[in-house]
Each structure stands twice: as C-alpha cells, then as structure tokens.
C-alpha cells in the first residue's frame, strides 16, 4: 500500500482507522513511503521554520527547538528491573497504620520509594544547537523522580500478595545542588493507574485535595486482588504517577512516572514454561514512551508566574510550555527515559509492554526497515527513508489486562495513559523469511502531532524511536507461545438488561481557557455522581467537539465499551479498559461496576494539560 493510499484512509482519531488497523491488516505487501509527496513541513534547519507555540491563561508563548541529537542509537534501551522489597522496621518515620485503610489485609510485600531531586541523562550523544553551539554530550536535566530515576522503579506485583508502598517526599533536599528549573512542584500525590484501590490509596485529588509536602509520607495499600475475586477481572500492566491537583502535567513531565507489572501465579506468571507460556524472564520488556522538549537558551519562558526571559543556564535541559491549557508536545521522543536508544534482541519471541506516559501525544507504532536521516526542525528530528513495514504485532492485552484472544496488527495506537501489550517474533519477517544476525528493525512512530489539540494524521513523518538489532539465536530453545485463547472476559449483559440500568451522561467541553465536564470545572467539594456500592451503570462520555480529542480516564474499575456513536466497539476496544480514546465529536457508551470500596474518586481527561485546567469531575461510591 502506497503512502498516498494510506492518507486516503484518513485519521479517525480515538479508535477507528487509527485504533483499529483492520483495514491495513488485509493489505498485501508492505506500507511504502513516497518521497515525492513528502510533507512540506520538512525543513533544512530550525531557523527555516517558525517556532511552535503553546497556549495558556496568559496567551501564547514560544517553545524552543531542541538541540539536534547528532548520534542517535548509541545508548542501550534501559530495561526496568523489579524493585527489591525492604523491611518496614528499617524505614523510620511513622509506622504503617492499618486503621488508615478501608480494607486491611496483612501485606506480604513492602516497598519504599523516595521522591528525590536528581539529574537525568536523556542521551549521551553530541548535540548541536540552533545558534551553532555544539556540545560533546547533552547536558543532564533535573527531574523529580521516584527513587530519583525516570521512569521510576518497576514494582513486580503478584495477585494474592498485597503490598504496602511507602512514598516519602525528599524533594525538599537537593544533594546534587541542581538548578530546579521553573516548573514542577516539590509535592506528590501518587495514583496507581488503574489499580483496584480504596480511595485513600488511589492518590486522587477528590479524596485528598492537597498533596504530600516535603518530609511527609504516604502508605498506599495495593491489595492485588480482582473485584469479587473473579480471575477474569485480573490486570497485567499498570503504572503510577503524580496526581497533584492543577500540577499533574508539570510533575509527570518532570519525571514522576513509575511502572507496575501485575502477574497471575501459574497463569500469566512471567515464566514461559508455565500457564499461558507467554514470553517471560528477560524477554518481557516494558517500554514507556515520552516526548520532551529541551531548552535552546534563547526562547523566553512565558506563562503564569514566569519571567518572560530566556534562560541560557538551562541550555539543553527540559523545557516546559509553562502551564499550557491546550496540551504540550515535544520534539524529541524517548523510550524508558532515553532518546533514540537501541535494543539487541535474540532471534525469538518477545513480550513488549507499551505505555504512553506523554503529556498529550498520541502515537501509532510500526516495525519498519529503512535508513535514518537527520531532519532538523521536525518533530522527532530523525526520519526513516525508504521505510517499509518489516514485522507485525500480536496484540495480547490492553489497559485492563489480557484479551480473550490475540489480535494481529500492523499498527499499535496509543493515546495518553493507554497501554498495549504485544508479542513480536524477531526470528522472522512478516513475509516468513528468517532474520539474520546484524539485521536492523526500527520501532517507529508514524502519527504526526504538531500541537496538543489533536493528532494531525499520517503525514509521511516516520520517526525511528528504537533501533532493534537482531542478535544471536537464544541459548535455549524458545519455549514461549501465544495461545489462541488468552483470558475469558466477563460477559457483557444483554442490551435489554443494559437498557434498564441507570444511565449518566458526561460531556467534555471548553469554556474559554477552562475545560469543563457537564459545563462545570473540577470542584473538589462537588460529586457529579453518587453511585451505590455494587451497582452497575452505563456511562455516556461525549466529546463536545471543537476539533479536540480527549483520552478520558475513569478511576477505580475498568469499563467495557458498548458502542462508539452508533457503531459497535472496535476490536481493540473488546477488552477491559480504563481510558476512553475519544475522537472529535465522538460519543462512547461504557458499562461499569462499582465494587469493593466506598468513597470518593475522580474521572478526567488524560491530556494532563486538560486535567490541570479543570477537565475532571469527582464521583462517589456510597454505601
């Protein structure tokens, strides 16, 4: 299929041609790129194109072009390792208090995580700035990180093993003497997205309006059990992040992101010799996708409470479009905290767990061959010439856990906060021919997004994000498999039953510089829905239009999509989810249950600039 034909398919945001690549799946041959119709935005240098803008309550401001990463694919992909448990008797500070928790189950695992100020290196590459300044290495950026890393530590959780995670605020300390920059607040409110957690461990601003200040600690209890004890409700890949009211975007962008894999003993257990036998051990790799923008030292820092001056001392360090209300997109793509890393793989199957932890950017991922070429002034900085699709993904899981059956896809689409888990066989190409040691395949983003309003579609911009190098055969035979049946899903009730449930409608709109839901900005004193415990409801989430897209996140339990507008759910929707990818003017109906706990929760847009500008509502489970 030629790229011009790909464009004809159009970009139907939120779950149609983007989220469902079935129209591409049946196409014979490769998806090729026609160079003669390359997008006219490709420029020779940053100086040749107008600076991108961001919008906030004070008007528009310029954003810099990041320095050019001249030597991509020289840093290995960081692969998160499981966090080690610690003895709570060694923690100091207050003891864990069972009375603070609505349901207390004796924990079997204990983790201690410190929020710390630390330096972070996005790349060890030489860099070139737009004024001609060249540096042998990109300067480190200052982050607020879980245990001082980005992403933060990965908790390797297991069903049946409740865990206490103590979060401690050490952001009042600056042991490295770092410049803290002019964005981000040294506070935290950690949300396990989307753990089945009581309100006091959910880390949401409706339950606790303020955040934890320096010196304060929070003990979250993650029960690691499914609602009603139903194994069909089990999840597999979560993440945790800051949820500070009105500052979620700045703190997440500054590094408050961590990973949480959740295994099911003897079924989906990470051991490819047991249960489903999905790829495990070192062949199970999370990939957190995050775009950023680095300071050029000459762009003024505009926005609320900013000085409107350039900051040459921040040259090459993280830049944030201060308090943007539309959204914020970067021009450098990172995976697990590294810009353009490489990954050497064995000739066998791998499980890749994709997380979109960007502030606003949507992605479409493909596995492609081609030749990287530097493109200054372009989002991503690098393009892939002569790009051809090389391999396919086997989709096995979404936000809420395993699918009922695997689904072959050419493209994996991600909205902010969404997760997709896939299996890729690196022993052969999609035409059946074997790979050879030294072959190279690139994980690419093919979706253009110039600003936070919405993706612009497939405009011929193919950004190689990870260089995947085919290595040796595995030391032992590949025992993993992708079974034809993964996990049975709880059945959706018949339509006649759904018609009799309580229906609630929530409309996402814009009022000046404020985002609203049902005409109201977020108010932590108001609950828009009081839902009886153990009830079932249909929630109708409507995008009010205006040329925007919204990834809408519902806390507490996963939902099931019933319909998109007047259409049945897409194949990718046919799984438990916690984020609804809403296209322009789209209406999505979901079926929800409200089990286990009572108390206060929130729902909000996960374009975090929209959330910070009040596109969130509180709701309550009542006895």
Instruction: For 444-480, write each residue's pLDDT tens digit.
Output: 999 999 988 899 999 999 999 999 999 999 999 999 9
Given a contact cutoff of 8 angstroms between Cβ atoms, the answer to whether 241 and 443 are in contact is: no
Q: What is the Cα–Cα distance from 243 to 202, expressed in whole angstroms?
A: 10
Q: Please provide the average confidence, as pLDDT, over all residues in the chain.
A: 90
Q: What is the Cα–Cα distance from 242 to 211, expressed in whole angstroms?
A: 9
- Sequence-ordered alpha helix ranges (H) in 174-236: 199-202
- Sequence-ordered alpha helix ranges (H) in 216-298: 248-253
Three-state SS at 23: helix
Length of the chain: 623
Nearest to 355 by CA among 449, 281, 456, 261: 261
Q: What is the Cα–Cα distance from 489 to 234, expressed in whole angstroms?
A: 10
Residue 334 β-bridge partners: 290, 339
Output the pLDDT for position 15.
30
How many Cβ atoms sit within 10 Å of the Cβ of residue 451? 18
Output the pLDDT for position 210.
84
Q: Tell me the pLDDT band of 40, cut-offs 50, 70 and 90.
A: very low
pLDDT tens, residue by residue, 222-254: 999 999 999 999 999 999 999 999 999 999 999
How many Cα atoms within 13 Å fall on the side-chain side of residue 565? Answer: 13
Given a contact cutoff of 8 angstroms between Cβ atoms, the answer to whether 557 and 196 are in contact is: yes
Output the pLDDT for position 58.
54
Q: What is the Cα–Cα distance from 582 to 547, expressed in whole angstroms?
A: 11
In 410-501, the DSSP E strands lie at 412-414, 419-425, 440-445, 463-470
Per cent of the chain over pLDDT 70 is 90
Which CATH class name applies to 495-622? mainly beta
Per cent of the chain over pLDDT 90 is 83
Backbone angles phi, psi at 228, to 5 degrees: 60, 15
Give the pTM: 0.91
Given a contact cutoff of 8 angstroms between Cβ atoms, the answer to whether 387 and 33 are in contact is: yes
Backbone angles phi, psi at 605, to 5 degrees: -75, 140
Q: What is the Cα–Cα distance from 106 to 53, expressed in whole angstroms?
A: 51
Quick check: 180 pLDDT over 60?
A: yes
Q: Tell me the pLDDT band of 5, cut-offs 50, 70 and 90.
A: very low
Quick check: 27 pLDDT over 60?
A: no
Quick check: 538 pLDDT over 80?
A: yes
pLDDT tens, residue by residue, 290-308: 999 999 999 988 876 778 8
Three-state SS at 609: helix
Q: Tell me the pLDDT band of 57, cut-offs 50, 70 and 90.
A: low
Quick check: 13 pLDDT over 80?
A: no
Quick check: 569 pLDDT over 80?
A: yes
Q: Is the dihedral of CA 602, 293, 114, 165 positive or negative?
A: positive
Q: Is the dihedral of CA 83, 87, 88, 92 positive or negative?
A: negative
Highest mean pLDDT among 29-33, 377-381, 394-398: 394-398
Output the pLDDT for position 121.
98
Q: What is the largest CA-CA distance in the chain?
A: 67
pLDDT tens, residue by residue, 410-453: 999 999 999 999 999 999 999 999 999 999 999 999 999 998 88
Given a contact cutoff of 8 angstroms between Cβ atoms, the answer to whether 333 and 291 are in contact is: yes
Which CATH class name applies to 3-36+286-470? mainly beta
pLDDT tens, residue by residue, 318-371: 999 876 788 899 999 999 999 999 999 999 999 999 999 999 999 999 999 999
Output the pLDDT for position 130.
85
pLDDT tens, residue by residue, 183-215: 999 999 999 998 999 999 999 999 988 899 999
Task: State the DSSP code for 50.
Answer: P
Output the pLDDT for position 550.
97
Q: Say which CATH architecture domain 88-271 belongs to.
A: Sandwich (2.60)
- Residue intervals in the chain for CATH 2.60.40.420: 3-36+286-470, 88-271, 495-622
Place of tokens 């490489």: 342
Q: What is the Cα–Cα distance from 234 to 231, expressed in whole angstroms?
A: 5
Q: Tell me the pLDDT band of 6, cut-offs 50, 70 and 90.
A: very low
213: tokens are: 């200040």
Q: What is the Cα–Cα distance from 19 to 401, expressed in whole angstroms?
A: 17
Q: Tell me the pLDDT band of 53, cut-offs 50, 70 and 90.
A: confident
Q: What is the Cα–Cα distance from 411 to 216, expressed in whole angstroms?
A: 44
Output the pLDDT for position 512.
79
Residues 6+ positions from 90 with CB-CB distance below 8 Å? none
Quick check: 119 pLDDT over 70?
A: yes
Place of tokens 């609804």: 580
Q: Tell me the pLDDT band of 377, cut-offs 50, 70 and 90.
A: confident
Residue 504 β-bridge partners: 539
Q: What is the Cα–Cα distance from 468 to 369, expressed in whole angstroms?
A: 10
Given a contact cutoff of 8 angstroms between Cβ atoms, the answer to whether 346 and 426 are in contact is: yes
């Amino acid at each position: 299929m030629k790229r011009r034909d790909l464009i004809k398919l159009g970009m139907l945001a939120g779950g149609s041609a983007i989220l469902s690549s079935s129209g591409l799946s049946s196409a014979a041959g490769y998806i090729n790129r026609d160079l003669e119709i390359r997008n006219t935005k490709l420029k020779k240098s940053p100086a040749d194109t107008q600076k991108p803008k961001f919008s906030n309550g004070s008007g528009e401001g310029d954003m810099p072009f990041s320095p050019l990463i001249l030597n991509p694919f020289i840093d290995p992909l960081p692969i998160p390792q499981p966090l080690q448990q610690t003895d709570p008797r060694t923690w100091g500070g207050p003891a864990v208090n069972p009375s603070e928790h609505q349901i207390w189950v004796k924990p079997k695992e204990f983790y201690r995580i410190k929020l710390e100020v630390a330096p972070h290196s996005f790349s060890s590459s030489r860099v070139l700035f737009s004024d001609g300044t060249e540096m042998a290495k990109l300067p480190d950026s200052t982050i607020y990180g879980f245990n001082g890393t980005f992403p933060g530590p990965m908790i390797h959780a297991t069903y049946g093993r409740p865990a206490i995670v103590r979060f401690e605020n050490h952001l009042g300390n600056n042991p490295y003497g770092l410049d803290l920059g002019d964005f981000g607040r040294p506070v935290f409110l950690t949300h396990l997205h989307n753990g089945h957690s009581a309100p006091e461990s959910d880390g949401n601003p409706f339950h606790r309006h303020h955040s934890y200040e320096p010196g304060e600690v929070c003990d979250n209890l993650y029960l690691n059990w499914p609602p009603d004890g139903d194994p069909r409700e089990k999840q597999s890949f979560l993440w945790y992040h800051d949820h500070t009211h009105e500052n979620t975007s700045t703190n997440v962008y500054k590094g408050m992101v961590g990973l949480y894999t959740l295994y099911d003993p003897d079924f989906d257990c990470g051991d490819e010799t047991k249960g489903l036998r999905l790829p495990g051990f070192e062949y199970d790799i999370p990939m957190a996708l995050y775009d950023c923008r680095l300071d050029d030292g000459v762009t003024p820092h505009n926005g609320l409470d900013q000085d409107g001056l350039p900051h040459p001392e921040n040259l090459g360090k993280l830049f944030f479009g201060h308090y943007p209300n539309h959204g914020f997109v970067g021009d450098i793509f990172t995976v697990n905290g590294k810009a353009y890393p490489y990954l050497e793989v064995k000739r066998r199957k791998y499980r890749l767990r994709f997380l979109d932890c960007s502030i606003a950017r949507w992605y479409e991922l493909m596995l492609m061959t081609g030749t990287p070429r530097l493109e200054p002034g372009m989002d991503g900085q690098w393009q892939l010439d002569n790009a051809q699709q090389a391999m396919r993904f086997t989709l096995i899981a979404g936000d809420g856990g395993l699918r009922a059956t695997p689904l072959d896809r050419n493209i994996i689409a991600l909205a902010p906060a969404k997760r997709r888990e896939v299996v890729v066989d690196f022993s052969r190409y999609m035409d059946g021919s074997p790979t050879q040691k030294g072959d190279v395949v690139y994980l690419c983003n093919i979706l253009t997004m110039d600003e936070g309003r919405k993706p612009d579609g497939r405009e011929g911009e193919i950004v190689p994000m990870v260089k995947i190098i085919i290595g040796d055969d595995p030391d032992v035979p590949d025992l993993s498999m992708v079974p034809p049946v993964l996990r049975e899903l709880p059945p959706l009730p018949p339509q006649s039953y759904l018609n009799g449930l309580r229906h609630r409608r929530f409309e996402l709109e814009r009022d000046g510089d404020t985002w609203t839901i049902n005409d109201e900005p977020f108010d932590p004193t108001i609950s828009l829905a009081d839902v009886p415990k153990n009830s079932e409801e249909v929630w109708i989430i409507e995008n009010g239009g205006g040329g925007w897209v919204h990834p809408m996140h519902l806390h507490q339990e996963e939902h099931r999509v019933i319909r998109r507008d007047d259409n049945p759910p897409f194949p990718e929707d046919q799984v438990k989810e916690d984020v609804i990818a809403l296209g322009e003017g789209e209406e999505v109906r979901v079926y929800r249950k409200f089990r286990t706990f009572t108390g206060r929760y929130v729902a909000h847009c996960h374009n975090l600039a929209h959330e910070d500008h009040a596109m969130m509502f509180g709701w309550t489970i009542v006895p």
